[in-house]
Amino acid sequence: MAVPAPLIDVRNPADGLVVGQVADHSRAEVCEAVRRLRRHQPHWEQLGFAARAEWLLRLQDWLIDHSAQLTDVVQSETGKTRFDAAIEVPAAIDLAKYWAGNAGGFLAEERPTPHSPIGLTKRLITRYRPYPVIGIVTPWNLPLLNPCFDMFSALMAGAAVLVKPSEVTPLSACELARGWAEIGAPPVFEVLTGGVETGRAVVDEVDYVQFTGSTATGRAIASACGASLKPCSLELGGKDPAIVLADADIDRTAAGIVYGGLFNSGQVCISVERVYVEARVYDRFVDCLVKQVRELRQGHDGRGFDFDIGAMATPGQCDIVTRHVEDAVARGARILTGGRPAQSGAFFEPTVLVDVDHSMTCMTEETFGPLLPVIKVADEHEAIRLANDSDYGLSATVWCGDRQRGEWVARQLEVGAVNINDAFANLVNFAVPMGGWKNSGMGARFGGASGIRKYCRQQAILVPRGPEMKREPLWYPASKSRARLVTTLMRIFDGRGRRRLPFRKGQ
């Protein structure tokens, strides 16, 4: 008799109550799921782009029809505010349309022009064939959106998809699987819940790994993939700087940084985690920032949109923020507002720290919490130097009046994306890539054709044009005259100056 999988309790971190249970799937169950997906994938690929787009758009219909219910699930397992949770479904809807509408064009067969007249004897074709089964391993911060970020493009490429959501917030991804089944779509998308061991099994069994999560786990997955020469794409942690130039609109900038740093309780990979402000406006900016942070309402709402800041995803996440604040204070930083965890529930007060420097963990390690440490800098050069002084390179924001100067600063930053006078804009502009530099990742998602071609293997096909000779010039038997003919042609077509001339004596 098969032993049922052990269960994982899913809790709402705002009050600690259990809101659901999911199976902790074994390696054997992962293998079986991958076998099933592998069996159904060829048919899915053969369906073609238009039919696959139709299924994706039916899922989009389902998402729209179930928006409120899905937002309830997101809220229940994350402790987010209604306002923060309510963004996940609309962003997924927008993304579904992007890939349904564009995948066919991005993956259309290409007929490249031969690089040299010698190549004119062939018709050249480049085509894109998907990796059969793509494994998507996701974190807990955007539990519905994180799988959607990567599965829509993978499905549109013609791959089958296995999602392994975080064991902390698996319920939202299970809703996606329910939606896929309810619309009657082909069985090429599954969600398998479980912890680290389930994730390891997924990495071992699939053909391509798309991972979003911490840098430490990303390294472990890259090693596992390296051992089996399996491609992977990694979206990892960040420590995003915000640079405030003296001519910025201070009120708008503070509001943007409050949102960019504290949305989702600061638990976004591209949250603002460090703020560098030009000395001339430092005092005015800090006053404005503190005033706006103090006005935020923190709590546990239902469907009411009553609060701005919700809970952290786990008590452990609160502990990290506490540790970063305590370390900073011990080294001379001052708390201007916030600074403490709540008595009950996984809440941490939105916090502004000043008098910080790069010896403190709050400026070097990812906090992933509602913490805004602020540093005064002399000018944009010091801001750029400090912003780049990080092991991470996910994204950054620049706040300015003169957009040309802002863009110049943006171009000096060693990060995968820079938003000027806005936060998170790159996350919802799918035509540009989202990917981290340095310890923030490898590869990128979105970004037009490259965001879907990564799920494919390229195949080159060369078809002869015109009549075929009995033998190609380089085929056996060896012959000096034919070897010379080839070299002569190369020289004529590729050489420069007198080197293009036919052989001279001694050559």
Q: Which residues bind ligand NAD (CB under 6 A)?
A: 137-141, 164, 166-167, 195-196, 199-200, 203, 212-214, 217, 220-221, 235-238, 269, 366, 368, 394, 436, 441
Closer residue to ligand NAD in complex, CB, 269/333: 269
Between the alpha carbon of residue 209 and those of residues 27, 84, 175, 189, the distances in Å are 16, 28, 22, 15
Q: At 84, phi and psi to the nearest 5?
A: -70, -40
CB 454 within 8 A of CB 255: no
Q: At 231, phi and psi to the nearest 5?
A: -70, 150
Residue 209: CB minimum distance to ligand NAD, A: 8
Residue 224: CB minimum distance to ligand NAD, A: 7
Closer residue to ligand NAD in complex, CB, 290/372: 372
- ω before 477 within 30° of 0 (cis)? yes
CB atoms within 10 A of CB 222: 18
Which among 64, 55, 62 is positioned nearest to 100, based on CA atoms? 55
Single-letter amino acid code for the residue at 56: L
414 catalytic, yes or no?
A: no
Catalytic residue among 88, 190, 235, 273: 235
Closer residue to ligand NAD in complex, CB, 139/241: 139
CB 236 within 8 A of CB 215: yes
Question: How is residue 243 written in tokens?
Answer: 């640079």
Residue 273: CB minimum distance to ligand NAD, A: 10
3-state class (DSSP) for residue 226: helix
Show Cβ contacts of residue 302 under 8 Å, excluding neighbours closer than 6 positions.
Answer: 82
Residue 73: CB minimum distance to ligand NAD, A: 17
Closer residue to ligand NAD in complex, CB, 150/380: 150
Closer residue to ligand NAD in complex, CB, 1/227: 227
Closer residue to ligand NAD in complex, CB, 339/435: 435
Question: How is residue 170 written in tokens?
Answer: 């698996």
Closer residue to ligand NAD in complex, CB, 87/281: 87
Question: How is residue 251 written in tokens?
Answer: 């009120």
Residue 19: CB minimum distance to ligand NAD, A: 18
Residue nearest to ligand NAD (CB): 199
Helix (H) or strand (E) holding 18: strand 18-23
Q: What share of the chain is helix, strand, coil (3-state, %, to 5)?
A: 45, 20, 35
Residue 182: CB minimum distance to ligand NAD, A: 24
Which among 323, 420, 417, 314 is positioned nearest to 371, based on CA atoms? 323
Residue 158: CB minimum distance to ligand NAD, A: 24
Q: At 115, phi and psi to the nearest 5?
A: -75, -15
CB 340 within 8 A of CB 321: no
d(CA 309, CA 262): 7
Closer residue to ligand NAD in complex, CB, 25/164: 164
Residue 89: CB minimum distance to ligand NAD, A: 17
Estimate to the nearest angstrom the gap between the alpha carbon of 475 and the chain centroid.
49
Residue 394: CB minimum distance to ligand NAD, A: 6
Question: How is residue 491 written in tokens?
Answer: 């020289």
Q: Which residue pairs from 480-484 have beta carbons closer than 8 angstroms and sit at least 24 positions apart in sequence?
A: none
Question: How is residue 106 written in tokens?
Answer: 């991005």
Closer residue to ligand NAD in complex, CB, 237/406: 237
d(CA 361, CA 238): 13
DSSP 25: -
Q: Compute the C-alpha angle 144/148/149, nearest 5°.
A: 115
- Active site residue ranges: 235
